Amino acid sequence: MAGASTSMRLRLPIACIALEVILIILFGVAVEYDHDVSGEAGHKTNTTHHDYENEFYYRYPSFQDVHVMIFIGFGFLMTFLQRYGFSSVGFNFLIAAFSLQLATLVQGFLHTIMTGGKIHVGVESMINADFCTGSVLISFGAVLGKTSPVQMLTMAVFEVILFSVNEFILLSLLNAKDAGGSMTIHTFGAYFGLMVTRVLYRPNLDKSNKKNSSVYHSDIFAMIGTLYLWMFWPSFNSAITLHGDIQHRTALNTYYSLAACTLSTYAFSALLNHEGKLDMVHIQNAALAGGVALGTAAEMMITPFGSMIVGFLAGAISVLGYRFITPFLESKLKIQDTCGVHNLHGMPGILGAIVGAITSLAATKEHYGNGLTAVFPKITSDFPASAQAGMQAISLVVTLGIALIGGIIVGFILKLPIYGAPSDSQCFEDGVYWEVYLPNAYCIELGCNNVSITM
Amino acid sequence: MAGASTSMRLRLPIACIALEVILIILFGVAVEYDHDVSGEAGHKTNTTHHDYENEFYYRYPSFQDVHVMIFIGFGFLMTFLQRYGFSSVGFNFLIAAFSLQLATLVQGFLHTIMTGGKIHVGVESMINADFCTGSVLISFGAVLGKTSPVQMLTMAVFEVILFSVNEFILLSLLNAKDAGGSMTIHTFGAYFGLMVTRVLYRPNLDKSNKKNSSVYHSDIFAMIGTLYLWMFWPSFNSAITLHGDIQHRTALNTYYSLAACTLSTYAFSALLNHEGKLDMVHIQNAALAGGVALGTAAEMMITPFGSMIVGFLAGAISVLGYRFITPFLESKLKIQDTCGVHNLHGMPGILGAIVGAITSLAATKEHYGNGLTAVFPKITSDFPASAQAGMQAISLVVTLGIALIGGIIVGFILKLPIYGAPSDSQCFEDGVYWEVYLPNAYCIELGCNNVSITM
Amino acid sequence: MAGASTSMRLRLPIACIALEVILIILFGVAVEYDHDVSGEAGHKTNTTHHDYENEFYYRYPSFQDVHVMIFIGFGFLMTFLQRYGFSSVGFNFLIAAFSLQLATLVQGFLHTIMTGGKIHVGVESMINADFCTGSVLISFGAVLGKTSPVQMLTMAVFEVILFSVNEFILLSLLNAKDAGGSMTIHTFGAYFGLMVTRVLYRPNLDKSNKKNSSVYHSDIFAMIGTLYLWMFWPSFNSAITLHGDIQHRTALNTYYSLAACTLSTYAFSALLNHEGKLDMVHIQNAALAGGVALGTAAEMMITPFGSMIVGFLAGAISVLGYRFITPFLESKLKIQDTCGVHNLHGMPGILGAIVGAITSLAATKEHYGNGLTAVFPKITSDFPASAQAGMQAISLVVTLGIALIGGIIVGFILKLPIYGAPSDSQCFEDGVYWEVYLPNAYCIELGCNNVSITM
């Protein structure tokens, strides 16, 4: 790709405007307000009380927490790179704003296959669209620094569709439980992205460019992302569960998993460094693995005790992944995983799927009381807990299959030389796609003007 | 003003203490708790159920989102300047903390004209006060870097009063709809601030001072502001609407408008740059125009389709404004608009007012069902939708009139040489009003002590 | 301690893993879901309505605001130090994740003394655990930069226990009111931490190390912490009050106190500087004192008028403390208070306790109506308001006693040479415990590789 134009002067406007116009037309044709958005439920003739029971009040705070995770959490987590902050937070913003619109359509379309009629939008569709967007951003983390924005928009188009198909198979056909998306969001997004970055392998990346690392301030910016993801993960896992004790329990279990995961992360980060020094990459990422690993089981009766064990394991696995598996993936399998999504989303996602399947085995009246059918609506005397556990396991296999095959195919689509991708020496550089003014160190002292850096 | 003292040693303490003492006295005389704050509704004798229906639970999450927009959103959006971060976030903090107190009094006083009795405070007054504060901060964005904190407090005193009068005329006398403040907040704040900065025109600003620009890290700080404004704008527009489907719909429409606006912003930012590079100023600001432009119509049945069209247009207009209109305003009309509030709040605010008027025309039983009188309480067979649309249009004219005339008058008040305003060469410099220690680049390497920069 | 190893290679993993394993075992033995987490209330047989009345919906938004204060607020407030950002935000993260788990157990254990049975967890225990964690982080602020992470974890173990004992004495035995923790959280955390730092006094700290100060960007990072603490303090003080008008009033009073405090802070910061320049340390900290000072009285009928007076005084006291008392504490009493917690939490906490006691004197039917017993359940004709005020005063004395004596004892425990504490010349340096890559100023210009700084 070296030498090819990276100009976005025409590519990006054409992509953005074409995609947005198509979205607007499809929204005009196929979308209508959900009944508690339009007021069609006829409540105006009822008591005020009805207005207080609008889904808005029971979902919107969760939605906003998820929204912050998508735009601030993912966006700032990726600003750790020294000269790629504009792109990290800026392309994250662009891709997310696009994906949530497309996801609303594709998820809604698949849902209407079951129900008929138009696509209904409201706070639930907003949360589901953000979930799909999260999966796209996980894949973005794998290819971060090595792709053009048009390439990312193209990836998002295909990934949103494949995500929605996989989600539909799991939740609607296999009746799997996965409220926090260990499988649908994390496993899918990670392995899809890893396959894409494998196909886009750049053999000369390391030799020509050392900017694939952090500097002091960029690591502190990244901690903003980490902490928002960590704090709001209980809201993420519980955002779309049934109301009442289930939602309450989901948030609580996730909170304990994350707390235990944090101590595990610090322990293994120090242990694996020959001077016993902590590594910011581990803290920024592995401490979040406890949220990923409880994405399936958090709504179940896993107990705080079980949640903490899962979180502790997730943190350990994740740090070990950064230390040993990421270098192996890069050197042996030619998978260049910029943010280490395999360690934060891939392995902990699989762990979460397994924990979910195992926890499903204990889905009995004894543990759940009358709440059993609320958590597991399919479980009956004819469909025992073991069958549910089997469906959970099959769901993981299906997810991995669609993610791996889909990622390879989309990787080849993204390899076409039409997207204005950066050359190897331009990777991890904001200046390729952004007007950048870097501070002149002398000038900070002396008050002279800034110098524009071009490349 | 060159050579005049900029010392805040007496000016700022006198201003802050005098204003706060007056506020405290007026609060002591005129303010009391709203009935669901004092418990006067006598619910203690009722069931617990009543406590769960306190307005607090249905408004406070929205309030906190708005609060974050005011203090983090506006504050950090303005940190883009390379050496004005302390002032941006710090004076934003001071002005906002003052304005919300004064706004509570002035808005409450005007409201009691209608109802009699004392000023009642509670979560609704907190939201309304933050809205008024937002308008003051928009004007602050126009004069950013060129004024002293005492000057800004003085501006806030007058602007809060004028804002409240305009708001009262629009909402209580003209019965206009403007829940998200396209007119009352954005149009008013922008044109008021533009007139103030016109009167305070500094002909030698460009020649003597090149600090009116960003550096790398300051642009990333500014993105914190942008993203919080973007994420929480649905809460802003819906914070004070009626409960139930209206509030739900308002948030939803705003969310779609912002998503479409973001794609439009990226498209036009790349298109207008001769190398096709994105400009951080556009991303930080124009991507928000979709929220401004739906400030009036978001609670109406504008549909996601309509919202996305409005958002798309708003983003395009805003980028075009930064590229073509801001330079024109500065060179021809002598309006130095530091943050480009004309592009983010001025033009999109007017667009929002027009969209609101047009959307009102469709305020029929057919579209709204029984919800019609909830959104448009004045519309009857004697007062048709077209009359409502007319009132919306008149409201825009009134707002522009009060903002323009008020801004000019207040601009001349602020021109008095008593506020310790900075000289031209001191503009955009934190060191004038803050103790500043800048990092010595060599010292970061060598570990020597910091050097204090004075001017 | 000079020359001793600071390696965390074994110390930190052993501490983290041992503590987490003990926590997990104790959670397995002693903890179970609260009834509205497990669904044991049997609601599945009831109406959907019941699910909407789950405590989750009335506490979780407050919890998340408090959570943001603990992790982002405290964490970023402490990033003001020029070379200690990783440790500030990173050790804050570690200590908080640990403390909230231990606090759940210790607070729950003391509560079960009253009620019997197992420890119940749910959103209320999450809030209470975060409150205890806040107190630990206040003490962390006093010793910031001079301690190892294992030392801090050890401090947290003891402080969580002592905090919980003191809290139990105040709230359960003395029947004191302290919803926002002026005494239990702020006074306790501050004086405990001050005693610890007194025992750990380092006579050569100033001579050998000048890094105990901020740089430009670190002060802007710290403002993120300040603003989140400021915005969400109304949620903090009201997070655990009774529902309804009491919670509403608590948030409202705190909001006014903070607004008045901010103007007072700016006034006194400028007044006490000989050039009239504002000091970022004051703005970052003193502007928050209004929240601390209303921690006891905010739920009472103190009125906005009273709240603003308290806030104004708190800001003034806090700035005066930074200017005059902190230097005195360091030079005369050998108390090195890195973050000035005496000014932000110590004195304002005592002020808050006194304000709470005085406000309790007005706890009459005349002021509270039927709400009296909701706020003051113990007040009857036999136990008048003056007795409540007496209990409030005794509570302050008890808190100071436990904090001061506990802090001294724990200080000596922390003085043992086993924790890998930094030498005097290593204080305020991230590089001791973290892998740090500092930006090479020349390289930003020239594109060369980063240089690793080791010490």
Single-letter code of the amino acid located at B386: S
Distances (CA, A) of A88 to A142, A429, B321: 12, 10, 26
For the stretch C171-176, contacts whose Cβ atoms lie closer than 8 Å and that sit 24 or more positions apart, written own/partner, are C172/C110, C172/C114, C174/C391, C174/C394, C174/C395, C174/C398, C175/C377, C175/C378, C175/C388, C175/C391, C176/C391, C176/C392, C176/C394, C176/C395
Please report whether residue C352 resides in a domain.
Answer: yes
Query: Who wins on pLDDT, A158 or A111?
Result: A158
Pairwise CA distance, residues A161 & A106, whole Å: 6
Measured in angstroms, the CA of A362 and the nearest CA of chain B are apart by 35
In a domain, C49, yes or no: no
Q: Based on DSSP, count helices (H) and strands (E) in chain C, helices before strands.
A: 22, 4
Which letter, b or e, does each residue of A65-74 get, where b requires 16 or more Cβ atoms within 10 Å of its Cβ? Answer: bbbbbbbbbb
Q: Where are the alpha helices (DSSP H) in B169-244?
A: 188-199, 205-208, 216-238
Residues forming a β-bridge with A214: A81
Q: Which residue of C has its CA nearest to B70?
A: C231
Residue A274: closest C-alpha in chain C: C9
Q: Is residue C46 part of a domain?
A: no
Q: Which residues of C touch B221 (CB under 8 A)?
A: 220
Is B276 close to A24, i.e. CB distance below 8 A? no
Of the candidates C191, C178, C88, C161, the residue with the CA atom closest to the CA atom of residue C403: C191
pLDDT, tens digit, 9 for 90 and up, residues B283-319: 999 999 999 999 999 999 999 999 999 999 999 999 9
SS3 content of chain C, % helix, strand, coil (to 5): 70, 5, 25
Least confident of B211-220, C189-198, C395-404: B211-220
Evaluate if residue C32 carries a pLDDT over 80: yes
In this predicted structure, the answer to whether residue C438 has a pLDDT above a threshold of 90 is no
Nearest residue of B to residue A71 by CA position?
B227
SS3 B443: helix
- Would the pLDDT of C48 be above 90? no
Q: Is residue B43 part of a domain?
A: no
Bigger pLDDT: C355 vs C213 = C355
3-state secondary structure of B278: strand
Q: Cα–Cα distance between C410 and C200 in angstroms, integer?
A: 10
Residue in A10, A61, A94 closest to B266 by CB: A94
Tell me the ipTM for this assembly: 0.94
Quote the pLDDT of residue B43: 43
Calpha distance A158→B34 (Å, rounded) = 53
Give the amino acid at C77: L
- Interchain contact C445–B (C-beta under 8 A): no
Beta-carbon contacts of residue C349 (< 8 Å; ≥ 6 apart):
C182, C183, C185, C186, C187, C188, C190, C292, C293, C295
pLDDT, residue A109, reads: 96
Contact between chains at C303 and B10 (C-beta distance less than 8 A): no
Is there a domain that residue A309 lies in?
Answer: yes
- Residue B384, both tokens: 């048709």
Residue C222 near residue C79, CB atoms below 8 Å? yes
- Give me the percent of chain B exceeding a pLDDT of 70: 92
CA atoms within 13 Å, Cβ hemisphere of C114: 10
Chain B contact for A440 (CB, 8 A cutoff): no
Q: Does B58 touch chain C (CB under 8 A)?
A: no
Q: Give the pLDDT confidence score for residue B208 in this predicted structure.
A: 53
Q: What is the pLDDT of residues C106-116, one digit of tens each?
A: 999 998 887 77
Q: How far apart are the first and last CA of chain A?
A: 16
- Report yes or no: C206 at the A interface, CB cutoff 8 Å: no
Residue B100 has what pLDDT? Answer: 98
A382-418 per-position pLDDT tens digit: 889 999 999 999 999 999 999 999 999 999 999 999 9
List chains adjacent to chain A, taking adjacency as at least 3 C-beta pairs closer than 8 Å: B, C
Q: Which of residues 337-396 of A touch B (CB under 8 A)?
A: none
Backbone torsion region of residue C420, taken as left when φ is above 0, otherwise alpha when ψ lies between -120 and 50, otherwise beta = left
Q: Report the SS3 class of residue C434.
A: strand
Tell whether the model's pLDDT for residue C208 goes beyond 80: no
Contact (CB, 8 A) for B139 and B199: no
pLDDT (0 to 100) of residue B447: 37
Q: Does residue B44 lie within any of the structural domains? A: no
- State the total domains in chain B: 1
Which residues of chain C neighbour A441 with C-beta distances below 8 Å? Answer: 441-442, 444-445
- C275 in reach of chain B (CB within 8 A): yes
Q: Which residues of chain B have pLDDT under 50?
A: 1-2, 42-47, 440-455
Using an 8 Å CB-CB cutoff, list chain B residues near C251.
Answer: 56, 60, 123
Tens digits of per-residue pLDDT, A236-292? 999 999 999 999 999 999 999 999 999 999 999 999 999 999 999 999 999 999 999
**More confident site: A320 or A453:** A320
pLDDT at B442: 36
| Euclidean distance between CA atoms B7 and B422, whole angstroms | 10
Pairwise CB contact (< 8 Å): A16 & B215:
no
How much is the CA Rg of chain C, to the nearest whole Å? 22
Asked if residue A50 belongs to a domain, the reply is no
Question: Count of CB atoms within 10 A of residue B114's CB?
Answer: 8
Average pLDDT of chain C to the nearest whole number: 91
Reduced to 3 states (helix: H, G, I; strand: E, B; else coil), residue B426 is: helix
Asked whether the predicted pLDDT for residue A446 surpasses 50, the reply is no
Task: Say whether C121 and A210 touch across the interface (CB within 8 A).
Answer: no
Query: What does the block give as tokens for B211?
Result: 């600090």
A442–B contact, CB cutoff 8 A: yes
In this complex, do B223 and A75 lie within 8 Å of one another by their Cβ atoms?
Answer: yes
- A440: pLDDT strictly greater than 50: no
φ, ψ of residue A391 to 5 degrees: the values are -60, -40
Residue C418 confidence (pLDDT): 94
pTM over 0.80: yes
Contacts of C215 in chain B (CB under 8 A): 437-439, 450
First to last CA, chain B: 16
Question: Which residues have C-beta within 8 Å of that of residue A28, sequence separation ≥ 6?
Answer: B303, B305
The beta-carbon neighbor of B43 closest among C244, C260, C267 is C244
What mean pLDDT do residues C426-453 have?
Answer: 62
Query: Which pLDDT value is given to residue B207?
Result: 60
The pLDDT score that the predictor gives to residue A49 is: 53
Q: How confident is the model at residue C453 (pLDDT cuts 50, 70, 90)?
A: very low
Residue C393 has pLDDT above 70, yes or no: yes
Residue C232: give its domain's CATH number.
Answer: 1.10.3430.10
Q: Does the pLDDT at position C245 exceed 70?
A: yes
In a domain, B45, yes or no: no
CB B180 within 8 A of CB A47: no
Given a cut of 70, whether residue A451 has pLDDT beyond it is no
- The tens digit of pLDDT for each residue in C275-331 reads 999 999 999 999 999 999 999 999 999 999 999 999 999 999 999 999 999 999 999
- Assess whether pLDDT exceeds 50 at residue A174: yes
Residue at token pair 């983003």: B315
Query: 3-state SS string over chain A?
Result: CCCCCCCCCCHHHHHHHHHHHHHHHHHHHHEEECHHHHCCCCHHHCCHHHHHCCCHHHHHHHHHHHHHHHHHHHHHHHHHECCCHHHHHHHHHHHHHHHHHHHHHHHHHHHHHHHCCCEEECHHHHHHHHHHHHHHHHHHHHHCCCCCHHHHHHHHHHHHHHHHHHHHHHHHHCCCCCCCCHHHHHHHHHHHHHHHHHHCCCCCHHHHCCCCCECHHHHHHHHHHHHHHHHHHHHHHHCCCCCCHHHHHHHHHHHHHHHHHHHHHHHHHHHCCCCCCECHHHHHHHCCHHHHCCCCCCCCCCHHHHHHHHHHHHHHHHHHHHHHHHHHHHHHCCCCCCCCHHHHHHHHHHHHHHHHHHHHHCCCHHHHHHHHHHHCCCCCCCCCHHHHHHHHHHHHHHHHHHHHHHHHHHHHHHCCCCCCCCCHHHCCCHHHCECCEECCHHHHHHCCCCEECCC
Distance (Å) from the alpha carbon of C311 to chain B's nearest alpha carbon = 11
Report the alpha-carbon distance of residue C289 to residue C277 in Å, rounded. Answer: 21
The model's pLDDT over B102-155, given as tens digits with 9 standing for 90+, comes to 999 999 999 888 777 899 999 999 999 999 999 999 999 999 999 999 999 999
Range of the domain at A211: 4-38+55-446
Q: Beta strand pairing status for C119-121 and C437-438? A: unpaired
